[in-house]
Amino acid sequence: MHAERRTRLLAVLSAVVLIGALGCVFVRGAERLKIAQRNAGRLLAHNEMLRNSLGSEAQVRGLVDRLRGERDVMKSRLYAPNEMNPYSFATLIKRRLGSHGMTVARYQVIETNGARTVEFSVSGSIASFILFLEEVSRSDRSWAIPSLSLNMKEGTSTADVAFRIGYEISRD
């Protein structure tokens, strides 16, 4: 009888432990389900907010098309990788300076940090140099003057000018 009672108590104890373990698993699963539902609600609200902030598909497509157009315009101002070299560019700039009445004393190609520019020393009237600068700024190509030094000649409207000018090459 004692063994039977012991077996029954062990069976009841095992059932209680099993029910307790199942209860813990159930409670933990219910907590995880609540957390998942809360996160899902928050993510759905965030998704809706993003959808509203983007606007309609037509607006997004219009924006993408406008940005592509701007990129194409910017790329059209760049030289193709084999379209221009520093020596041809120097000759082009020398001709442009001459067409404005500027006298080129010297010029040289300079490479700094992988960027090639052409350094010029010129003299002539300030008005002519301003016209040249205007031509550079209105150029169909992307030209840049990273440095410029101007020495006015006293009592005249002429100056000695030293400057560097470079051009942009398309990278893709």
Q: Check: CB of residue 81 under 8 Å from CB of residue 170.
A: yes
16 in a structural domain: yes
Q: Is residue 45 domain-shared with residue 117, that is, in the same domain?
A: no
pLDDT interval class at 172 (50, 70, 90): low
Considering only the C-alpha atoms of the chain, give the largest distance between any 2 of them, rounded to a whole number of Å: 131
Q: Check: CB of residue 124 under 8 Å from CB of residue 101.
A: yes
The better pLDDT of the pair 80, 55 is held by 80
- CATH number of the domain residue 158 falls in: 3.30.70.60
Q: Is residue 46 domain-shared with residue 90, that is, in the same domain?
A: no
The domain of 102 spans 86-167
Beta strands (DSSP E) in 75-114 are 103-112
The percentage of the chain sitting over the pLDDT mark of 70, rounded to a whole number, equals 98
69 in a structural domain: no
The percentage of the chain sitting over the pLDDT mark of 90, rounded to a whole number, equals 30
Q: Is residue 41 domain-shared with residue 92, that is, in the same domain?
A: no
Buried b (16+ CB within 10 A) or exposed e, 28-47: eeeeeeeeeeeeeeeeeeee
**pTM to 2 decimal places:** 0.59
- Give me the pLDDT at residue 164, please: 93
